[in-house]
Amino acid sequence: MRDIFTEIFENQPLDPTEAARRAVRPRLRKRFYERAAIGERSGQGFPVLLDGKPVYTPARRALAAPSHALAEAIASEWNAQAEEIDPARMPLTRLANAVIDAVAEKPAEVAAEIAQYLGSDLVFYRAEAPEGLVARQAQHWDPLLAWARAAYGARFVLGEGVIHVPQPQEAIAAARAGIPSDPWRLGALSSITSLTGSALIALALSAEQLDVEAAWAAAHVDEDWQMAQWGRDELAFARRAFRYAEMQAAATVLELVE
């Protein structure tokens, strides 16, 4: 069983852009079970079962979630698979594997990686022009900065263009206090931060100051502006859809974890 899950979830180019670059088709394993269900709660949480047998992560740990609702959501991904198991369509399972195998092992390192974004967050860097883009950035990003001031007492500095603007250490430390210690919430926050390029967007979503659609829109202000002006690149748009599914999976963890 260890080899099965290693084969399914490791060493495959899930992202469509990466798959196209490598000109490969992922080798998908045939579905080998009838039904995914939830087992009785144990010390590891609610386990996901395939035909009554436990599912294991690639590191050979039990695939189990801290809440029944979250375990059901993971099991739903397994039940939604057709004749083959496609990990690209299982973002919640992939995130759960990462939380169990990696985040829970080194939570301090994960929190530190999130905190690094607070020194150069997406929302700190504003365009000088055109006026429409400047206004759109202010519309989506200014409320995040106001919330950070109100919630954490964190006052960040804005800059124009891409030249690095040092942020006050007091502001970084204040906002860092909002990073959760629970490995599931921490893993979800880490995923959102890397997907959006913004720890502040991730923190606001975690604190229910934004819903997932608003958070996604805030993360793509510049990209959406460019697409509105020049049209969209279909391959890039496919990659964006893949990443949005990951974003939704992380938001599901934040919503359903206990």
Query: Which tens digits make up the pLDDT trace of 113-152?
Result: 999 999 999 999 999 999 999 999 999 999 999 999 999 9
Tell me, what CATH number does 230's domain have? 1.10.3580.10
Please indicate, yes or no, whether residues 130 and 247 belong to a single structural domain of this protein. yes
CA gap 196, 207 in Å, rounded:
16
Question: So what's the pLDDT on residue 76?
Answer: 98
Question: So what's the pLDDT on residue 232?
Answer: 77
Question: So what's the pLDDT on residue 9?
Answer: 67
Please indicate, yes or no, whether residues 158 and 62 belong to a single structural domain of this protein. no
Question: Taking 50 as the threshold, does the pLDDT of residue 103 lie above it?
Answer: yes
Total domains, the chain: 2
Please indicate, yes or no, whether residues 251 and 126 belong to a single structural domain of this protein. yes
> What pLDDT, in 10s, does the model give residues 4-54?
555 566 655 455 455 545 545 667 889 999 999 999 998 889 999 999 999
**What per-residue string of b and e applies to 223-258 under the rule 16 or more CB within 10 Å gives b?**
ebbeeeeeeeeeeeeebbebbbebbebbbbbbebbe
CA gap 77, 35 in Å, rounded:
11
Please indicate, yes or no, whether residues 148 and 226 belong to a single structural domain of this protein. yes
Question: Taking 90 as the threshold, does the pLDDT of residue 245 lie above it?
Answer: yes
Domain boundary among 81, 103, 125: 103
Domain boundary among 39, 72, 103: 103
Given pLDDT bands bounded at 50, 70 and 90, which one contains residue 1? very low
Please indicate, yes or no, whether residues 70 and 166 belong to a single structural domain of this protein. no
Please indicate, yes or no, whether residues 30 and 17 belong to a single structural domain of this protein. yes
Question: So what's the pLDDT on residue 238?
Answer: 83
Domain boundary among 66, 84, 103: 103
Question: Taking 70 as the threshold, does the pLDDT of residue 208 lie above it?
Answer: yes
Read off the pLDDT of each residue in 204-211 and give the average, rounded to a whole number: 97
Tell me, what CATH number does 57's domain have? 3.30.2180.10
Read off the pLDDT of each residue in 170-198 and give the average, rounded to a whole number: 97
Please indicate, yes or no, whether residues 114 and 231 belong to a single structural domain of this protein. yes
Please indicate, yes or no, whether residues 181 and 248 belong to a single structural domain of this protein. yes
Please indicate, yes or no, whether residues 156 and 252 belong to a single structural domain of this protein. yes
Question: Taking 60 as the threshold, does the pLDDT of residue 192 lie above it?
Answer: yes
Please indicate, yes or no, whether residues 85 and 211 belong to a single structural domain of this protein. no
Average pLDDT of the chain?
A: 91
Question: So what's the pLDDT on residue 24?
Answer: 54
Please indicate, yes or no, whether residues 26 and 55 belong to a single structural domain of this protein. yes
Range of the domain at 240: 107-256
Question: So what's the pLDDT on residue 16?
Answer: 47
Please indicate, yes or no, whether residues 25 and 84 belong to a single structural domain of this protein. yes
Residue 142, token pair as written in the block:
């200014």
Question: Taking 90 as the threshold, does the pLDDT of residue 167 lie above it?
Answer: yes
CA gap 117, 197 in Å, rounded:
7
Question: So what's the pLDDT on residue 11?
Answer: 52
Q: What are phi and psi of 154, to 5 degrees?
A: -95, 120
Question: So what's the pLDDT on residue 182?
Answer: 97
Using a 10 angstrom Cβ sphere, with 0-12 exposed, 13-18 middle and 19 or more buried, the burial of residue 80 is exposed
Report DSSP letters for 21-66, one per residue.
Answer: HHT----PEEP--S-EEE---BTTBEEEEETTEE-B-TTS-B-EES
Percent pLDDT > 70 in the chain is 90
CA gap 202, 51 in Å, rounded:
36
